[in-house]
Structure 1
Amino acid sequence: MEMLQLEFMQRSLLAAVLVGITAPAVGIYLVQRRQALMGDGIGHVAMTGVGLGFLLNTSPIWMATLVAVAGSVAMELIRAYGKTRGDLALALLFYGGMAGGVLLLNLSPTGSNANLTSFLFGSLSTVSEEDVTAIAILAALVVLVTVVLRRQLFAVSQDEDFARVTGLPVRALNLLIAVTAAVTVTVAMRVVGLLLVSALMVVPVAAAQQLSRSFRATFVLAVVIGTTVTLSGTTASYYGDLPPGATIVLLAIAVFIVLTALAAPLAKRRARAAERATAECDARCLPATRHPTDDVKV
């Protein structure tokens, strides 16, 4: 294929695979915690890191990672201790991060509107070898954490009180989820863009949940869906001259709609089968009983 002979497409496809794996791997924990929009907030904060990277003439990805990690830790602490004013503090953090990024990018000598657009919505031609190296290192760390500590992370995401009773370090695990989400945002920003990365963290997981029941099956299926849509979207954006981030997200939503339509009749059949099994068990397993009034003569 002609596409595979181009170096920038080779880098883009490799980055797409890494993003397709890492985004759902972290997103499944955010969905369990009902923090589906956390990735969107981190993306806003990471924009300050991008602008700072251009201003200081350093790698935007590594600088965005540092800023996003700091922002995610602040978000988790606000969530845990903010109480009534937590929403206001998060809003200030989100909007301040985006505004700071735009300002710093315009102040930098190498920044431009083209750079801003590529980080906000993704761009195939701007993925460099240095970007691929950084993405690969960060993606490896994210996958390692989400796989090795999957039991602990699932426990704290499902029920913090139960996890605390069992002796798990709940606060440390919460911070770890926030940090891995921040790293995932910076991994995906070159391919999907900071404004759309949250969708790739959530939609494949939601699509996988339509067919799977267990956590492990949902995890695997979400990663498969994420990898499929990122590769398909990247290929479609090359041949159709389309924005990669928007194409990938729309494909993910399309997969969710299709799987939801397929899951509805399947769920009904499962429910009817469960009802029949319950009825048969009741008829077979429950002992025959006589009502006390059965022997009373009227």
Structure 2
Amino acid sequence: MMDKLILYFQYPFVRYALIVGVLIALCSSLLGVTLVLKRFSFIGDGLSHVAFGAMAVATVLNITNNMLFILPVTIVCAILLLRTGQNTKIKGDAAIAMISVGALAIGYLLMNIFSTGPNLSGDVCSTLFGSTSILTLTKAQVILCCILSVLVVTLFVIFYHKIFSVTFDETFAKATGIKTDAYNLLIAVITAIIIVLAMNLVGSLLISALVIFPALSAMRIFKTFFCVTICSVVLSVICAVIGILSSILAGTPVGSTIVAIDIVAFLISSFIGKVSGGNAQ
């Protein structure tokens, strides 16, 4: 097996896949803790459906670098989702359901009407559940992913204390003069960037798992926000590396394999939490 891995590492596409996989896992786990604690877990699911709809439009328009189209559309929808969720007439969960289902339906409708390939069901399945696209990344795509990942990590580090305050007690944070609306908007924008990055790795429907599972696993063991965040990052990166290598060796879908490894990590973390009595509330 080691000889086989060494042989695969000689190919650039394998190295590119690992680099992008690690970066996406790192970024998604950073914000996962905040989204879980703020009860925003399904915002990732909603935005992933929006990204699917945007990808369908980009395909119909024959846009070569579709990420340059999908990213701004998803960010705009994240802002609209945040604003709509604050509307007293439309609650947050209803807004997420409305936007996500609408975008998913429109995306699939467009792909049916303006089908550009002979295998429509295969294209849709690959977009929703991930495919081998992570193994066909170009150098330009890897560079773009690196730039966006550095942006996400930088923003999180710079505004860590503000995000921490908004996450745990938004009312108190607002009373102390923190512009909570601005930081909620920042969280939504960063989430949108992560969703677009993760589409190539796990597909639209599995993105939420990449965001939620590492955070929940870390919460089973640690109690403090900082320790949970660090543990979440470590677990997410390890699971991504194991998942990508396992999929290459076994020939299984990359996204599904990573999520399966995340589930195993969650079960192990839950067991460790029960044994040590360190369950986080």
Flag whether TM exceeds 0.5 (same fold): yes
**What is residue 203 of structure 1 aligned with on the other side?**
213
Q: Residue by residue, what CA displacement relative to the aligned partner does 1:4-34 show, whole Å, maximum 9, x if unpaired?
A: 1222212111111111100101111101101
Please provide the CA RMSD for this pair.
1.9
Deviation at 1:44, TM superposition (A): 0.5
Q: How many residues align?
A: 269
- 2:128 is the alignment partner of 1:120: yes
Measure the CA separation in 2 of the matches of 1:212 and 1:265: 13
The two structures have a TM-score, normalised by structure 2, of: 0.89
Pair 1:210–1:146, CA change in 2 (3 A) = same
Q: Rate the CA distance shift 1:42–1:111 in 2: closer, same or farther, 3 A.
A: farther
Q: Give the TM-score taking structure 1 as reference length.
A: 0.85
Equivalent in the alignment of 2:189:
179
Q: Percent identity?
A: 30
Counterpart of 1:132 in structure 2: which amino acid? V
- Asked whether the 8 Å contact 1:50–1:105 carries over to 2, the reply is no
Q: Among residues 27, 31, 43, which one is paired with 2:48 in the alignment? A: 43
Aligned residues of 1:61 and 1:134 also touching (Cα < 8 A): no
If you compute each CA radius of gyration, which structure gives the higher value, 1 or 2? 1
> In structure 2, which of residues 8, 16, 22 is the aligned counterpart of residue 17 of structure 1?
22
Using the alignment, how far apart are the partners of 1:177 and 1:56 within structure 2? 30
Partner of 1:63: 69
Q: 5+ residue gaps in structure 1?
A: 270-298
Measure, in 2, the Cα distance between the counterparts of 1:193 and 1:93: 18
Alignment correspondent of 2:229: 219
Contact 2:85–2:91 (CA<8 Å) still a contact in 1?
A: no
Amino acid at match of 1:109: T
In structure 2, C-alpha distance between the alignment counterparts of 1:74 and 1:96, rounded to whole Å: 14
2:84 pairs with 1:74: no
Instruction: Report deviation, 1:223.
Output: 0.5
Q: Among 109, 112, 122, which residue is 2:116 paired with?
A: 109
Is the Cα–Cα contact under 8 Å of residues 51 and 70 in structure 2 kept in the other structure?
yes
2:269 is equivalent to residue 259 of structure 1: yes
What CA deviation, in whole Å up to 9, does each residue of 1:103-162 have, x standing for no partner? 333416369534433322222334333322222122111111111111101111111101
1:28 aligns with 2:33: yes
Contact 1:48 1:67 in 2 (8 A): no
Distance, in Å, in 1 between the alignment partners of 2:215 and 2:260 is: 15
Question: 1:129–1:108: structure 2 CA closer, same or farther, 3 Å change rule?
Answer: farther
Contact 2:43 2:96 in 1 (8 A): no
What SS does structure 2 have at the residue aligned with 1:81? coil
In structure 2, the CA distance between the partners of 1:173 and 1:268, relative to structure 1 (3 Å rule), is: closer
Q: What's the secondary structure of 2:152's corresponding residue?
A: helix
